[in-house]
A and B are shown apart, each in its own frame.
Chain A
Amino acid sequence: MTTVVKSRGTVTIDVESCKGCELCIPACPPAVLTMSGPVNKRGYHYPELHPGCTGCAACLMVCPDYCFEVFRFQTPVEHEVPS
């Protein structure tokens, strides 16, 4: 079974600047950010984005390392994900 998840927005993440504080994870209203398994050059886990972003910019506003830039799509992008 698959479900269609719409992304109204997306983000870019400056992975190498991240210090792994995890403040963005609970800040994300649709909860589509998770921490990575691998680590960056400085040894920190970093956030990864899954389908379902709304482009609300909550992650950007709580990130102390200014890692995020937020974008909104003119037409939402659809992803098929296993449910």
Chain B
Amino acid sequence: MSTIPLGPVLDTAHAPGDGARVVEPKTPALLLTNHHHLCPGCGEPLAVRAIAEALEDLGLVDTAVCALGIGCYTSFGATVDVDLVQCLHGRAPSVATGVKRMLPDATVFTLQGDGDMVNEGLQEVLHTAARGESLTAVLVNNGVFGETGGHMTATSVLGQRTKNTIEGRDAEYHGYPILIGDLIAQLEGAAYVARGSVHNAGAVARTTKMVRRAFEAQRRREGFSFVEILTMCPTGWFIPTGEGPDYLASTLGEVHIMGELKADGQIRTTEELHAENVRKAAELDAQLARGGLED
């Protein structure tokens, strides 16, 4: 923790004058407004931001088409300036397949939650991955059905508290979670599979790079690309907003291990990802201590 003595409150209502420059990453122009109806402390807006940033960085804004699932994030369809198709619950990968086959030069991606992708439409995403469709699927995973009341999903981890697992998810009664990223990485048609998170600034930066790599894989027509993003849901987890990031890291993050599960034809094991995470966390801490996240 810093020992800087707290001075007076500074003016933050106005941008500074000529002696200052805006630091990248700026808020992407694709986000038409910063008003949305998601709860305080929600992680999904950060995932949406990572996608918008990746599209702008790669110059893919004009060719992007989103197949949007059903969940809290669906409301972003109205405020993010990307062409989109609203899909039935869980069916986004199949709709995206149709769009990609008709418009092979488009950058097609799905945005789905864990309830949408892993509960309602598990077979859609698995078949799309197995077929090796050149599209990108983005999963925002918080382990609860946020929009429809906060009950558990297939990705809720053991011990996780949700509306219908008040004592924590119990393997004997509720079964075991599905690690969707690990499952997709095993399929021959999947070219790039990664799992990121938004629980701190370093994780957000790393996740944005993963989304960028997934879009690059799609542009090179390497096959199916998949990015899972762990997000906070303090409302669904019954915790104060400020505890969201730590809860994510200590529950979902311990089971759904973050990292690149499949890249450059190589599938990585849980142990390898753990070791990589420890190394990257140390690097990012050092970078932040130097006072910047810029590359």
Contacts and interface: CB of A to CB of B under 8 A. Distances in A.
Interface of A: 3, 5, 7-15, 17, 19-23, 25-27, 29-32, 34, 44, 48-52, 54-58, 60-62, 64-67, 69-75, 79-83
B2 interface: yes
A71 B6 contact: no
Contacts of A8: 291
Point out which of A20, A21, A73 has the most chain B C-beta atoms below 10 A from its C-beta: A21
Interface string B249-262: 00000000000000
B142 to A, nearest CB: 12
Given A12-B12, A51-B7, 11 more contacts: A10-B16, A10-B20, A14-B34, A23-B242, A50-B6, A57-B25, A58-B201, A61-B293, A66-B49, A72-B23, A79-B7
B25 A10 contact: no
Interface string B18-47: 011111111100010011101111111110
Nearest to A47: B12
Contact of B9 (A5, A19, A48): A48
**Interface size range on B against A:** 35 or more
Given A11-B12, A26-B242, A81-B5, A73 B20 contact: yes
A35 to B, nearest CB: 10
B245 to A, nearest CB: 7
Given A10-B10, A20-B40, A22-B242, A32 B2 contact: yes
Contact of A31 (B1, B22, B204): B1
Contact of B23 (A7, A13, A51, A70): A70
Contacts of B14: 12
Interface of B: 1-2, 4-10, 12-16, 19-27, 31, 34-36, 38-46, 49, 198, 200-201, 204-205, 234, 241-242, 244-245, 288-289, 291-293
Contact of B289 (A13, A29, A71, A79): A29
A56 B16 CA distance: 16
A11 B1 CA distance: 20
A15 B12 CA distance: 9
B248 to A, nearest CB: 11
Contacts of B23: 9, 55, 57, 60, 70-72
Given A9-B23, A58-B293, A21 B40 contact: yes
B75 to A, nearest CB: 13
Nearest to A9: B23
